[in-house]
Structure formats: C-alpha cells, structure tokens
Amino acid sequence: MTRLAELRLYRIDMPLVRPFRTSFGTQDTRDVLLLQAITNDGISGWAECVAMEWPGYSYEYVDGAVDVLAEHLIPAAVADGTIDPHVVHRRMSRLMGHPMAKAALETAVLDAWLRTEQRSLADYLGAVRTEVDCGVSVGIPVDESIDSLLEEVSGYVDAGYRRIKLKIQPGWDVQAVRAVRETWPDIPLQTDANQAYTRDDGPVLAAMDPYDLLLVEQPLPEDDLLGHALLAQQISTPVCLDESIISVATADTAIAFKAASIINIKPGRVGGYLESREIHDLCLERGVPVWCGGMLETGVGRAANVALAALPGFTLPGDTSASSRYYAVDITPPFVLDDGRLRVPTGPGIGVEPVPAILDELTTWSAVIDVANP
C-alpha cells in the first residue's frame, strides 16, 4: 500500500520583478514555503504555502506556518502515513485556524495521491476548461505617480491581460481609477482595497462608480460583514470579498446577508482546494460569480490555482498571471500567457514540479520530517 514516508519543507527566496505595494505593505521578495510529500514508492507531491513573511494580509506568516505544520498539523494529520487527502482534511479540521498551513499540507498529500492515481488535479476538481482567462493585480506605484501606474498598466495591456485590478487605499483611489479608465475605456477593470477603508468611506467608494468597475474587493476590515452589506447599498459597483471569506459557512453568510455579490476564492485563505471546490459549488448554486485570487505564487501554487480556475463557476478572470509578472526565473517551467490565457496543466496531480537546480539555488532553509513508522 502506498503511504507517506517523508515530508520536506523548503523556504526559498524569490526576488519579485518589481516591488508589490498594497494598502498593507510593500514586498520586494517572496519568502515562499514549499512542501514535498514523498511516498514509500518515491512519488513526490508538491504544494506551496501562501503565507507571507509578516501578518499583513492575514494573521498567518511563514515562521508561524512552519511551526504549526511541524508541531501540530503534520503529527495530527499524517503520522500514520495516510495519503488520503480527505482523511488529512478531516483530521486537520479539529485544529483551529491556520488555513494556509493546512492548505499546503492537504495539497501536498492531494498531489501525491493524484500522481499515484495518475489523475490530474483539474480532472479531480471538475474542470470544464483547458485554459483560463487571466487578469493582473497592479500594485500602488512606489513613487505614487499616475505616470508610473499608466506605464505599468500599459505593459500588461500589451501583454494581453484580460482584466486589470488596481490596488487602492485612501488617497490612491479615484484618481488612479479615472486615469486608467480614461486611457483604456473598454478594459475590464476592478479594484482591491485590502481592508483599507471604514464604514464612513461610502462617498469616496461611490465616487468610483462612474468608471464601470467589475467590482471592488474587500474595502472594509475582514470581520465587518455588516459594514460590507451597508456599503453595498451605497455604491453601484459590486462588492467582492477576499479576506472575509474563510470557509463555506462565511461564504454562505456573506451571500445571504448581501455583504458580497462576487467572491474571490483563494485556496490558501480557505484551507485548501477541497474547501475551495465547496465554496465554488455553493456560489454556483446561488448564482454568485467567483474568480481565483492569487498570493504571488510560484509555478507550484499557480499550477493548482489554474486547475481550480477551470471550474464552471469561475466566470471572471483570476489573479492567475504569467510567471513573468512576478519572477524573472520561476521554480517550475514558466507559465506563459497566450492570448491572455494560461493553459490548464494536464499531467498527473498539479502537473508541474520544481526544477531541482533552481530549487537548490533558491533554498535558504530546509527540513526533513519522517512521518510514518510502520
């Protein structure tokens, strides 16, 4: 019987092609935690933990993810060597929080299991597309100039991206949106505030209504569902939630109380691809459009996200950009945009793996954890 023999953790340092500034901070590099789940017959499952270096987007962060994985999640979920991702999911659900760490462990096991079964993640999740429409998330220019913004957006429009998302915050909002809309009257456009506004900011958010935005993402703090519902009554731009949606239950609540009419599904934020699929199914049933968010993933996380984005309810372009949007050198063969789309991997599991020499060169720390003592 196939069982898990060993888990390897790697931390890699990935320089971004340009700094990424949001309302919660600026990043120049991505400190990525990778998991490799190795079976007794030498098959490797791979996953990327999307926690960032510091708790700016959510409370999780890389050091914390390493700790909770090594001390709690791995011992609780895979000590007997199971490679059944549903068993791993159920066992981890008895521990609170830490969805990004849980998602990484579940996905590494899921990938190993699917490779053993010779089945692709896209097929397993229920993909209906062979390629997905791609958008791009544009940070706040470090020099806060509209010229820099237009230059960056221009590069993405030329590259073929099918939707532009502008990061906004108080002081960097209406002007930026107006400039991009006036330069590209027809491009699908949306904004993401990462919780930077308050319940009193209805007027400034309404000031962006004339620019034909697909949605505004997470304007208010993550715990303020009522605030989002009240805001949705004050603006005509649809409200989309990212940080607030951490589970099927929160998605159901947000929809029922009209706090969101569109949902960004990020597997790390909700604890994995199994939970992501359930949120997708619920939203499809409720007629709520979803799209696949991103966390500046390497090719490992990107491959799995692209598979998820191929499900039928993902009707809006995702933050599933090409490798070159983020990194000069990706750790997998690069994802390349073709007519504004990325191809869904078809190989077993997530369909890609790190190039050993590149992984080796970028690794700053690694650990081996024996998981099964038969």
Q: CA angle at residue 85 from 53 to 332, to 5 degrees?
A: 50
134 secondary structure, DSSP code: B
Residue nearest to Mg ion (CB): 242
CA distance 112 to 27: 31
Shortest Å, Cβ 200 to ligand OSB: 22
* Residue that the structure tokens 């984005």 belong to: 309
Pick one of ligand OSB, Mg ion, none as the site partner of residue 294 (Cβ within 5 to 8 A by kind).
Answer: ligand OSB
Per-residue x/- track, 187-206, Mg ion (CB under 5 A): -----x--------------
Residue 81 CB coordination number (10 Å): 18
Residue 142 is encoded by which pair of tokens? 């470090």
- Contact status, residue 191 vs residue 217, Cβ threshold 8 Å: yes
Shortest Å, Cβ 138 to ligand OSB: 9
Pick one of ligand OSB, Mg ion, none as the site partner of residue 23 (Cβ within 5 to 8 A by kind).
Answer: none
Known active-site residue 167: yes
114 vs 176 by CB, closer to ligand OSB: 176
Pair type for strands 239-241 and 262-265: parallel
The answer for residues whose C-beta is within 8 angstroms of residue 63's C-beta and 6 or more apart is none
Shortest Å, Cβ 100 to ligand OSB: 11
Pick one of Mg ion, ligand OSB, none as the site partner of residue 57 (Cβ within 5 to 8 A by kind).
Answer: ligand OSB
Shortest Å, Cβ 53 to Mg ion: 17
Identify the sign of the CA torsion 19, 20, 24, 29.
Answer: negative
- Contact status, residue 219 vs residue 194, Cβ threshold 8 Å: no
* Element spanning 162, H or E: none
Catalytic choice (102, 165, 258, 266): 266
10 vs 24 by CB, closer to ligand OSB: 24
193 vs 311 by CB, closer to ligand OSB: 193
- Contact status, residue 109 vs residue 45, Cβ threshold 8 Å: yes
22 vs 39 by CB, closer to Mg ion: 22
Pick one of Mg ion, ligand OSB, none as the site partner of residue 321 (Cβ within 5 to 8 A by kind).
Answer: ligand OSB
Residue 321 CB coordination number (10 Å): 23
* 242 is a site residue for Mg ion (CB under 5 A): yes
* 297 is a site residue for Mg ion (CB under 5 A): no
| Residues at the interface with ligand OSB (CB under 6 A) | 57, 137, 192, 194, 242, 293-296, 319, 321
* Element spanning 243, H or E: none
Residue 10 is encoded by which pair of tokens? 């790697």
43 vs 180 by CB, closer to ligand OSB: 180
The window from 126-134, 150-158, 217-225, 269-277 that contacts Mg ion (CB under 5 A) reads 217-225
- Contact status, residue 74 vs residue 104, Cβ threshold 8 Å: no
Known active-site residue 165: no
Query: Do you know the residue count of the chain?
Result: 374
* Element spanning 150, H or E: helix 146-159
Pick one of ligand OSB, Mg ion, none as the site partner of residue 201 (Cβ within 5 to 8 A by kind).
Answer: none
Shortest Å, Cβ 58 to ligand OSB: 9
CA distance 232 to 205: 10
Shortest Å, Cβ 321 to ligand OSB: 5
CA distance 187 to 89: 40
Pick one of Mg ion, ligand OSB, none as the site partner of residue 137 (Cβ within 5 to 8 A by kind).
Answer: ligand OSB
Shortest Å, Cβ 20 to ligand OSB: 7
Q: Which residues bind Mg ion (CB under 5 A)?
A: 192, 217, 242
**Residues known to be catalytic:** 167, 266
